[in-house]
Copies of this chain bind each other. A is one copy, B any other.
């Protein structure tokens, strides 16, 4: 059900010929109200795609009636012509739905540096508007897939209100092809500032902690829309918890479907002086190609974990760090402990636990191993 699990939303996913495969490639999600409140977070990449530049303008006044999404082209580094394509697309959605173009968000994903076919996009918008349906969430989720092998859907039903969502992405923070697009919907009664607070808190500990290859997309966007159709005004903490639950579930699905991955790696850093220290340490490990290649080779190479920590500014003592892999303490006080052969890396899930012994803060980062399939997929994508 994804984005249409919450009352007040309709969606569609259609094939407009933007993808050479002929698969679904244009999605439309419409908020039928009564509310049209919204919040969004955008990529922090300074090379922002044209749909991001457009959507940021739309969010200056956080009223959103609809969100248009396409795969088959990122519309990034396509100059003024590319921006005009976004603008024309929003106008076409506005015409079809009888709303204001200034209330239409646009998201794109696919190859960078090539113009989107505007004629096909316009036809796709008409087709999608005609196909809108209160059960269209799954088709919409399929239409935003690129290298994804499965659609990502999440739902949390609370007491009279619902949070639903869809996501695409073969890894967070990955540019060009692996853009992360997320649309979250709720029928709870919340205004845009409440949505914004809840969304930022939920993203901070879910999507922002997913780091498949350290690359940062030009097109990432996470949007939360509220219809108010349930008539129920939830406690904001309860809503934030439900939203975080859906985001965590979608993040887990993104990690599981990351390009070419053989292992899903969860890195937990405890005993840090601050949460940001813990996050920096976890992220440095998640970005070490050498560590990630070792995991692919089923080698519990904890030395590469500690080498990665040394590149951070986090407080730690190299002579007092413990590292556990799948429960086996392979490093104690910064030196070798249990033989690394005792660690079983055959399962797809790997838990790496660090203790820095300098404070009480912790953070968890999700990542994947570096595999032949990752290299293959990313060397072959454009061809």
Complex Cα distance, B312 from A213, in Å, reads: 16
Chain B residues within an 8 Å CB radius of A84: none
On whether the beta carbons of B216 and A336 are closer than 8 Å, the reply is no
Are B77 and A306 in contact (CB-based, < 8 A)? Answer: yes
- Taking a contact as CB atoms under 8 Å apart, the answer to whether A378 and B293 are in contact is yes
**With contact pairs A216-B307, A310-B48 given, residues A290 and B375 touching in the complex (Cβ less than 8 Å):** no
Residues of chain B with a CB closer than 8 A to A311's CB: 45-46, 216
Please determine whether A175 and B297 come into contact, CB atoms closer than 8 angstroms.
no
Whether the pair B216, A176 counts as a contact (CB closer than 8 A) is no
Of B45, B216, B380, the residue contacting A297 (CB under 8 A) is B380
Minimum CB–CB distance from A120 to chain B (whole Å) comes to 18
CB distance from A359 to the nearest CB of B (A): 17
A375 and B293: CB pair below 8 A? yes
The answer for the CA separation of A126 and B46 in the assembled complex, in Å, is 58
A288 contacts the other chain (CB 8 A):
yes
Contact A215 B297 (CB under 8 A): no
A331 within 8 A of B: yes
Establish whether residues B47 and A375, one from each chain, have CB atoms under 8 Å apart when the complex forms: no
Cα A55 to Cα B371 in complex, Å, equals 37
Chain A 79-120 per-residue mask, 1 if CB under 8 angstroms from chain B, else 0: 101100000000000000000000000000001111100000
Cβ of A213 and Cβ of B290 under 8 Å apart?
Answer: yes
Contact check, B214 vs A287: say whether CB atoms are below 8 A apart: yes
Asked if A335 CB lies within 8 Å of chain B CBs, one says yes
How many chain A residues sit at the interface, stated as a range, is 35 or more
Asked whether B375 lies within 8 Å of A296 as measured between CB atoms, the reply is yes
User: Is the CB of A223 closer than 8 A to any CB of chain B?
Assistant: no
A47–B287 CB distance below 8 A = no
From B45, B177, B318, B375, contact of A371 by CB (8 A): B375
Q: Does A374 contact B (CB under 8 A)?
A: yes
Is A76 part of the binding interface, using a Cβ–Cβ cutoff of 8 Å? yes
Q: Assess whether B213 is in contact with A336, with CB atoms less than 8 Å apart.
A: no
Q: A215 contacts which chain B residues (CB < 8 A)? A: 288-290, 304, 307-308
How far apart are the CA atoms of A316 and B77 in the complex, in Å? Answer: 14
Does A370 touch B at the CB level, under 8 Å? yes
Known: A45-B310, A336-B78, A371-B375. A302 touches B113 (CB 8 A): yes
With A77-B303, A112-B306 already in contact, 13 other A-B pairs whose C-beta atoms are closer than 8 Å:
A46-B312, A47-B307, A175-B308, A176-B304, A176-B307, A216-B310, A218-B307, A290-B378, A293-B379, A295-B379, A296-B379, A301-B382, A372-B375
